[in-house]
Amino acid sequence: MLPLRMLEWFHLVSYAAMNSDTSWLAGLHGAVRLQPLPLRLYRRAGIEVSLLRLDELHPQVSGNKLFKLSYNLAAAVAAGHRRVLSFGGAFSNHLHALAYAGRALGLETIGVVRGEPAYADNPTLRDASEWGMHLHFVDRQAYRHKTSEQFLTALRARFGDFFLIGEGGRGELALKGCGQILECLGPDVLARTDLIGLAVGTGSTLAGLISARPGHCRLLGFPVLKGAEFLYSDVRDQLQQAGVSDPGGWRLCLDAHEGGYGRVSPQLAAFVPSFERETGILLDPVYTGKMLLGFNRLVAAGGVPAGTAVVLVHTGGMQGVRGMAKTLYDLRSAFCGALPL
Ligand SMILES: Cc1ncc(COP(=O)(O)O)c(C=O)c1O
């Protein structure tokens, strides 16, 4: 089988649109690496931990983005839309992936960006713009009202009709796509997995996994936002909107945010390159770095019983690291404590 990164992603999406079934995902099993993590910390704790390398799926539409976008774009194409609009921050992995996928599918894309037009020059938005995304900047206050009818009507008056994808890709179709992440593990691995961990932003990826998890397999989400207790009810709302009743078996680790969204602590800045030295795997400090540091702290504190088989999900996001090198270097130099590795 061809490694998935050699396939053109839009073929998968078009195929899904045409067939409106999920058999195309069968091709993912075996193409996505499940990489064992040989850390001393895990050996001492007597646990087995592997990383599901969704970051390797595609150079531009990596990690959870393929799953969040596939049904959305399939629905847009199937309904005859020519234009897709979505929302995100100035370094949004979602807008970056959407811009690429939109171009691949011949769709016009509009990114409503929280922040100043000066951000248009950052590497994320520069790529998006080169791939044809029209960037529309709104200030933070206006952005808060992005889901209101009034705001959407004003956008329609300005840009014409469009297919709407929620912020960061959130929504029922994203949840449906993310439920299929578990299919990458294959039935045998899934049957012997006790715990799955992942980084949480909007909670759509977690909600998708909750909707598809087998009863024996618990889920642990690591929110990257500070004060993310609201996600307990928000994730339940997302499940309800998708017609899924919450089966339980999941929880959030609320102290892995390292200061809040987009913030990096000195320990996190030191952890990411040390993890890379130990495993050869790159993490981003915004999502997957926080998940792994949070999980490792939990293990070091004895919070994961011996014998547990764990899969952590690498949800991608490496494009967002560009431009952060100096900040990370400065922060890392300020850290002199021990790292859980
Ligand atoms: C790289 C990466 N990991 C994890 C997440 C969290 O996903 P979600 O917003 O579905 O919780 C995001 C945001 O979409 C992301 O960009």
CA of 54 to the centre of ligand 1 (A): 12
How far is Cα 216 from Cα 87, in angstroms, rounded to an integer?
36
For the whole model, what pTM was predicted?
A: 0.93
Burial of 191 (0-12, 13-18, 19+ CB in 10 A): exposed
- Give the up-direction half-sphere exposure of residue 89: CA atoms within 13 A in the CB hemisphere: 9
| CA distances, 172 to each of 69, 209, 235, 242, 291 (Å) | 11, 13, 11, 5, 24
65 Cα nearest atom in ligand 1: 14
85: closest CA among 195, 164, 185? 164
| CA distances, 54 to each of 132, 178, 192 (Å) | 25, 12, 20
288 Cα nearest atom in ligand 1: 3
CA of 202 to the centre of ligand 1 (A): 7
Query: According to the model, what pLDDT value does residue 105 have?
Result: 83
Q: How far apart are the first and last CA of the chain?
A: 35
Query: According to the model, what pLDDT value does residue 2 have?
Result: 35
How far is Cα 174 from Cα 168, in angstroms, rounded to an integer?
10
List the pLDDT tens digit at each of the 341 positions of the chain. 333 443 445 555 555 544 555 555 555 555 789 999 999 999 999 999 999 999 988 888 889 998 999 889 888 988 999 999 999 999 999 999 999 989 888 899 999 999 999 999 999 999 999 999 999 999 999 999 998 999 999 999 999 999 999 998 889 999 998 998 998 898 999 999 999 999 999 999 999 999 999 999 999 999 999 999 999 999 999 999 999 999 999 999 999 999 999 999 999 999 999 999 999 999 999 999 999 999 999 999 999 999 999 999 999 999 988 878 888 999 999 899 999 99
Provide the residue ranges of all domains of the chain, joining segments of one domain with +: 18-62+179-333, 82-161
The single-letter DSSP state of residue 337 is S
CATH topology for the 18-62+179-333 domain: Rossmann fold (3.40.50)
- Ligand 1, from 92, 173, 205: best to mutate by most atoms within 8 Å of Cβ? 205
CA of 286 to the centre of ligand 1 (A): 9
How far is Cα 331 from Cα 325, in angstroms, rounded to an integer?
10
93 Cα nearest atom in ligand 1: 16
Which residue has the CA at smallest separation from atom 14 of ligand 1? Answer: 168
Which residue has the CA at smallest separation from atom 15 of ligand 1? Answer: 317
Q: What pairs with residue 136 in β-bridges?
A: 112
How far is Cα 52 from Cα 54, in angstroms, rounded to an integer?
6
- Ligand 1, from 52, 56, 64, 231: best to mutate by most atoms within 8 Å of Cβ? 64
How far is Cα 285 from Cα 263, in angstroms, rounded to an integer?
8
Query: According to the model, what pLDDT value does residue 145 have?
Result: 93
327: closest CA among 283, 256, 264? 264
Within this chain, domains 18-62+179-333 and 82-161 share the same CATH topology: yes
How far is Cα 11 from Cα 1, in angstroms, rounded to an integer?
16
CA of 157 to the centre of ligand 1 (A): 30
Query: According to the model, what pLDDT value does residue 13 have?
Result: 54
Provide the sign of the torsion angle of the four alpha carbons 128, 4, 281, 67, taken in this order: positive
Which residue has the CA at smallest separation from atom 12 of ligand 1? Answer: 201
CA of 170 to the centre of ligand 1 (A): 10
CA of 26 to the centre of ligand 1 (A): 23
Level-2 CATH architecture, domain 82-161: 3-Layer(aba) Sandwich (3.40)
- Ligand 1, from 93, 165, 230: best to mutate by most atoms within 8 Å of Cβ? 93
CA of 167 to the centre of ligand 1 (A): 11
Query: According to the model, what pLDDT value does residue 332 have?
Result: 93
CA of 315 to the centre of ligand 1 (A): 7
Query: According to the model, what pLDDT value does residue 71 have?
Result: 87
Query: According to the model, what pLDDT value does residue 175 have?
Result: 94
Neighbours of 174 (CB within 10 A): 29
Ligand 1 site, CB within 6 A: 63-64, 93-94, 168, 199-206, 287, 315-317
